[in-house]
């Protein structure tokens, strides 16, 4: 699953490097699709359940599943969650990152840093013998410590030949509870955290999930293999599994 993960990360990184005021999310979608296809992959999201694009691009109060559009022009201070997935040789990679467009509001910056750290803390728990509840609790405790909201209706998931497999990987839970993690399992961990209330709704386009109070949201995701040697992040390219927070950070 490494090639699928690496290509997913490369697409995410390249998209992030193009995020700056004036760019449309449709442009970002075209960049991701061309990179994925150029390297022999297929965009995992395009056509998935009828989704019309190769990436999800969710701006500010949009939590997940934002549809790229020529009409969405990024502006100074936006935070932009990008989700990319690639299928290579029948295996899926899935990852996401919230980038800054220019300089974010200080509280939005804190939201993003805390959500990214939720992901890191959760990955540390992805070892054999631990439980899904240990992953959820790691996310929940860190987010709540900072006073942020945890989206409950959307969760991480198993990954394999299909993008969404069992088990569900919630961003909340109790330590020691839930499915026992075993070497060989592959899961996507993806905290979705809100600055205000985590209550959400889906827009009339039937995809885009937004906070009801229109507070900002952040979303970070990696695909992780559970191994006897510890968590192995599969969504990793030559530059590693993490992206810069700053959009427009050209490599
Ligand atoms: Mg996912």
Phi, psi for 19 (deg, rounded to 5): -75, 115
Query: How far apart are the CA of 190 and the centre of ligand 1, in A?
Result: 6
CA distance 58 to 41: 23
Q: What integer pLDDT is reported at residue 85 of this predicted model?
A: 98
- Report whether the peptide linkage leading into residue 167 is cis, meaning its omega lies within 30 degrees of zero: yes
Fold of 2-250: Creatine Amidinohydrolase (3.90.230)
Query: How far apart are the CA of 95 and the centre of ligand 1, in A?
Result: 6
Query: How far apart are the CA of 221 and the centre of ligand 1, in A?
Result: 7
Percent of the chain with pLDDT over 70: 99
Q: What integer pLDDT is reported at residue 250 of this predicted model?
A: 59
Sign (positive/negative) of CA torsion 237, 132, 208, 247? Answer: negative
User: Cα dist. 158→16, 92, 209, 218 in Å?
Assistant: 25, 10, 21, 21
Query: How far apart are the CA of 96 and the centre of ligand 1, in A?
Result: 8
How confident is the model over 133-144, as a mean pLDDT? Answer: 98
Query: How far apart are the CA of 75 and the centre of ligand 1, in A?
Result: 26
How confident is the model over 214-224, as a mean pLDDT? Answer: 98
Which band of pLDDT confidence, cut at 50, 70 and 90, is reported for residue 249?
Answer: confident
Query: How far apart are the CA of 23 and the centre of ligand 1, in A?
Result: 25
Query: How far apart are the CA of 146 and the centre of ligand 1, in A?
Result: 24
Q: What integer pLDDT is reported at residue 22 of this predicted model?
A: 97
CB atoms within 10 A of CB 57: 28
Write down the mean pLDDT value for the chain.
97
Is pLDDT of 251 > 60?
no
How confident is the model over 128-145, as a mean pLDDT? Answer: 98
Query: How far apart are the CA of 123 and the centre of ligand 1, in A?
Result: 14
Query: How far apart are the CA of 209 and the centre of ligand 1, in A?
Result: 14
Joined tokens for residue 213:
């109070």
Is pLDDT of 108 > 80?
yes
- List pLDDT tens digits, range 22-40: 999 999 999 999 999 999 9
- Every domain of the chain and the residues it spans: 2-250
- List pLDDT tens digits, range 163-212: 999 999 999 999 999 999 999 999 999 999 999 999 999 999 999 999 99
Query: How far apart are the CA of 127 and the centre of ligand 1, in A?
Result: 19
Joined tokens for residue 118:
């939720």
């Amino acid at each position: 699953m490494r090639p699928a993960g690496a290509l997913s990360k490369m697409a995410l990184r390249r998209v992030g490097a193009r995020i700056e005021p004036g760019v449309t999310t449709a442009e970002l979608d075209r960049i991701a699709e061309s990179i994925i296809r150029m390297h022999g992959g297929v965009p995992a999201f395009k056509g998935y359940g009828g989704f019309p694009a190769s990436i999800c691009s969710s701006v500010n109060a949009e939590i997940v599943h934002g549809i790229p559009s020529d009409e969405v022009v990024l502006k100074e201070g936006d935070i932009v969650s990008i989700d990319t997935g690639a299928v290579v040789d029948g295996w899926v990679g899935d990852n996401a990152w919230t980038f800054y467009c220019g300089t974010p509001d200080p509280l939005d910056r804190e939201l993003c840093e805390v959500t990214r750290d939720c992901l890191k803390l959760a990955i540390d728990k992805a070892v054999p013998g631990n439980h899904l509840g240990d992953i959820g609790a790691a996310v929940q405790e860190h987010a709540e410590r900072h006073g942020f909201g945890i989206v409950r209706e959307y969760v991480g998931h198993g990954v394999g030949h299909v993008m969404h497999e069992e088990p569900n990987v919630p961003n909340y839970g109790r330590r020691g509870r839930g499915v026992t993690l075993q070497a060989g399992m592959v899961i996507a961990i993806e905290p979705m955290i809100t600055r205000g209330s985590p209550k959400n709704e889906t827009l009339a386009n039937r995809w885009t999930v937004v906070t009801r109070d229109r507070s900002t949201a952040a979303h970070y995701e990696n695909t992780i293999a559970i191994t006897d040697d510890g968590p192995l992040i599969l969504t990793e390219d030559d530059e590693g599994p993490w992206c810069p927070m700053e959009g427009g950070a050209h490599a």
